Structure 1
Amino acid sequence: MKVKNPKFRVRSATFENFNVSNSSFNMTMNAQLGVKNPNFGPYKFRNTTVKFYYKETLVGTAIVSKSKAGLKTTKKFDVKVDLIAPISLASDAQLASDISIGLLPLRSQSELSGKVELMLIMKKKKTTQMNCTMNVNIKSQQLQDVMCK
């Protein structure tokens, strides 16, 4: 019996406290994440941190608590992330350009480790990577173009 890697993704998001100026941003993102388990046994995973980046600069983190995705199901959960542009980005011409266009590109990364339990006797360690890119539409305050590898 072959054990497949689960998929860990950003599914959707809403925003609050949305403050964007010419060269900075400060917003709270309520993101829905999902762990899709394609196996015929539950996937129990450990705590992990999801990191959000603008280009190569860390702008926010979220903690995912340990949990379990049932067999052949998707475990959905919500996390709150404060996305804040650090002072080092204040003079970044690309950030000012992205904000003037109205699309703020973000990237999320994480690694989720756990075990798939098959037939109550066999346990296989499985680790899955999250690597998603997305755009925050500044005018509509919505997440769009979510692409995960």
Structure 2
Amino acid sequence: MAGSRKGLKIVAAVTGILLIVILVVLVVLVVLFVTILKPKEPSIFTKPVTLESFELVVTPVVRLNVSIGILITVKNPNYGGFKYENSTAHISYRGNVVAEAPIEKDTIPARATHNITSSVSILADKLVTDTHFLGDVILVGVLNFTSEATLHGKVSLLKVFEMKATSYSECNISITIKTQSADSVCKSRVELKK
């Protein structure tokens, strides 16, 4: 009987120590997740748009060929990667979509900077048929566009924790006809969802 009591005391002591160790490990993991590993919003920088080609012929028939390059830089401060799905960037002129550029799915590694590039050719037929087009070209000398891109994906942390994330980017692009140059002002934001 004395031996079985001693055995029970040893089992109880080992179980108690094991529970304390598990509790300490859980507390450490929670503290790490809340402080260091807590998902943060990536920083998104849209670089000024580059005008890759521009050709405008007014007579005998209005013809336009415009190609612009877009570069988005994403800085991921997280200890987990951001994997996004295929998407499309849309370029609009006065509210009407005049170009689309595919953005292929990819992964932005943990604590890394990643460039997303795209080249867009503007559909001249949609642009030239707009009633404001000739006035913008001849009177103002500037064509104003809006570029929008949305990336849907997941932030993965240590391949254990996952959060849905959506990145939004919008640019106002002005192409000056006389100098054949492009200026852009962009803003971006990211939404993290559990």
The runs of 5 or more residues in structure 2 that have no matched partner are 1-33, 189-194
C-alpha displacement of 1:75: 1.4
Tell me which residue corresponds to 1:64: 103
Residues 48-74 of structure 1, C-alpha deviations (whole Å, 9 max, x = no match)? 000100011111110111112223433
| SS of aligned partner of 2:135 | helix
Identical-pair percentage: 26
Higher Rg of the two aligned structures: 2
Q: What is the TM-score when the length of structure 2 is the normalising length?
A: 0.64
Tell me which residue corresponds to 1:3: 39
Residues 1-47 of structure 1, C-alpha deviations (whole Å, 9 max, x = no match)? 44344455542333344123557632122222333434332111111
Q: Do structure 1's residue 18 and structure 2's residue 57 form an aligned pair?
A: no
Q: Do structure 1's residue 84 and structure 2's residue 98 form an aligned pair?
A: no
Give the ranges of 4+ consecutive aligned residues of structure 1 lying more than 3 Å apart after TM superposition. 4-10, 21-25
**Contact conserved, 2:87 with 2:150, CA < 8 A, in 1?**
yes
The CA distance in 1 between the partners of 2:86 and 2:63, in whole Å, is: 31
Tell me which residue corresponds to 1:46: 85
Q: Which amino acid aligns with 1:39?
A: N
| SS of aligned partner of 2:90 | strand
The CA distance in 1 between the partners of 2:75 and 2:122, in whole Å, is: 26
- Coordinate RMSD, CA, aligned: 2.5
The runs of 5 or more residues in structure 1 that have no matched partner are none
Q: Do structure 1's residue 144 and structure 2's residue 183 form an aligned pair?
A: yes
Say which structure, 1 or 2, has more relative contact order (CA 8 Å, 6+ apart): 1
User: Higher helix share goes to which structure?
Assistant: 2
User: Higher strand share goes to which structure?
Assistant: 1
Tell me which residue corresponds to 2:134: 96
The CA distance in 1 between the partners of 2:80 and 2:102, in whole Å, is: 25
The CA distance in 1 between the partners of 2:118 and 2:97, in whole Å, is: 17
Go from structure 1 to structure 2 and tell me whether the alpha carbon gap of 1:119 and 1:50 turns closer, same or farther (over 3 Å shift): same
Go from structure 1 to structure 2 and tell me whether the alpha carbon gap of 1:121 and 1:36 turns closer, same or farther (over 3 Å shift): same
**Contact conserved, 1:24 with 1:90, CA < 8 A, in 2?**
no
How many residue pairs match? The answer is 148
| SS of aligned partner of 1:12 | coil
Q: Which amino acid aligns with 2:185?
A: V
